[in-house]
């Protein structure tokens, strides 16, 4: 038993010596699932993950200007593809880790009905959306409103968030009656966690394919490669499904 204890201690020490750190940029809509994923990843591998959350468009600008990120989880597939074309990412590392769902949400129970009639009635004070120029969920919200022929009617009531997290905050704090957010922010284990919601039909906007990839700064980093592989695991897929994401 003593020899076994010594052997295990040596193995853990060796793992610690090889453990690394990885800097990761993550789309704001993926905050909650990524926090859970990282807890499991660090426990399983010994690597340390430093997370930054924000708008995909802003991360692109930061990466293009030399920000020290090594892995990027975007809220779309076009931004990672652009980074790959521009030589700022490891070729062949891009893959779709999740398919997002847009939802119209209010913190008030029964405020939003199953057909989102409240949008047509205009009986609300403010409507929160993420900046459509930098946040894919904001762009999807604008597409949805155009499809409903409501964009011009409700535009004066917009409260624009810098990213999808700030958009949710506006609704949560009552600064807006309702807002277009990511389903993952208000959904867990098969149900809407609070308030009322309308899940936007997928045909109302372009699909929200969320791609991840290893950036050039992470090309030779074992921790970056390990996280990239871990994101494809069954354990991670199960976490992602619990937050209402689909797969491609």
Q: What is the pLDDT of residues 114-151, one digit of tens each?
A: 889 999 999 999 999 999 999 999 999 999 999 999 99
CA-CA-CA-CA dihedral for 23, 138, 83, 60, to nearest 10? -50
Tokens 């506006």 appear where? 170
Position 188 confidence tier, pLDDT thresholds 50, 70, 90: confident
- Residues in contact with 235: Cβ distance below 8 Å, sequence separation at least 6, in sequence order: 40
How big is the chain by its Cα radius of gyration, in Å?
20
User: What interhelical angle do 234-242 and 31-45 show, nearest 10?
Assistant: 150
| pTM to 2 decimal places | 0.85
Cross-sheet strand order for the sheet of 48-54: 48-54, 21-27, 71-73, 208-214, 95-100
Residue-averaged pLDDT of the chain: 92
Residue 107: per-residue pLDDT: 96
- Distance between CA atoms of 169 and 175, rounded to whole angstroms? 8
Q: Are 216 and 92 in contact (CB under 8 A)?
A: no
Position 197 confidence tier, pLDDT thresholds 50, 70, 90: very high
Give φ, ψ of 195 to 5 degrees.
70, -150
Position 3 confidence tier, pLDDT thresholds 50, 70, 90: low
Element housing 60 (H / E): helix 56-64
What is the DSSP secondary-structure string of 164-197? HHHHHHHHHTTSSSEEEEEHHHHEETTEE-SSEE
Residue that wins the pLDDT comparison between 190 and 166: 166
Please list, residue by residue across 181-211, b when 16 or more beta carbons sit within 10 angstroms of its beta carbon and e when fewer do. Answer: bbbbbbbeeeebeebbbbbbeeeebebbbbb
- Domains observed in the chain: 2-99+209-242 (3.40.190.10), 102-199 (3.40.190.10)
Element housing 40 (H / E): helix 31-45
Residue 210: per-residue pLDDT: 98
pLDDT per residue as tens digits for the range 82-124: 999 999 999 999 999 999 999 999 999 999 998 899 999 999 9
- Distance between CA atoms of 218 and 224, rounded to whole angstroms? 6
pLDDT per residue as tens digits for the range 203-246: 999 999 999 999 999 999 999 999 999 999 999 999 999 999 99
- Long-range CB pairs of 149-156, under 8 A, 24+ apart, other chains included: 150/119, 150/120, 153/122, 154/119, 154/122, 154/127
């Amino acid at each position: 038993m003593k020899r076994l204890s010594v052997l295990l201690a040596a193995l853990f020490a060796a793992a610690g010596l090889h453990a690394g750190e990885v800097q990761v940029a993550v789309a704001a809509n993926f905050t909650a699932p990524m926090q859970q994923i990282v807890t499991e990843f660090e426990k399983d591998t010994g690597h340390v993950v430093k997370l930054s959350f924000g708008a995909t468009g802003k991360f692109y600008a930061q990466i293009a200007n030399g920000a020290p990120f090594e892995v990027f989880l975007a809220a779309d597939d076009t931004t990672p593809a652009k980074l790959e074309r521009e030589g700022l990412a490891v070729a062949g590392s891009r893959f779709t880790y999740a398919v997002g769902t847009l939802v119209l949400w209010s913190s008030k129970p029964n405020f939003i009905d199953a057909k989102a009639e409240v949008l047509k009635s205009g009986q609300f004070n403010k409507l929160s959306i993420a900046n459509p120029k930098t946040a894919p969920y904001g762009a999807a919200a604008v597409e949805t409103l155009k499809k409903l022929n409501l964009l011009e009617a409700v535009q004066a009531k917009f409260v624009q968030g810098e990213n999808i997290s700030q958009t949710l905050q506006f609704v949560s704090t009552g600064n807006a009656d309702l807002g277009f957010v990511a389903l993952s922010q208000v959904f867990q284990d098969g149900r809407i966690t609070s308030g009322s919601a309308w899940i936007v039909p997928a045909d109302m906007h372009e699909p929200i394919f969320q791609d991840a990839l290893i950036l050039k700064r992470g090309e030779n980093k074992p921790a970056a490669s390990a996280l990239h592989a871990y994101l494809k695991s069954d354990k991670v897929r199960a976490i992602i499904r619990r937050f209402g994401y689909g797969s491609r």
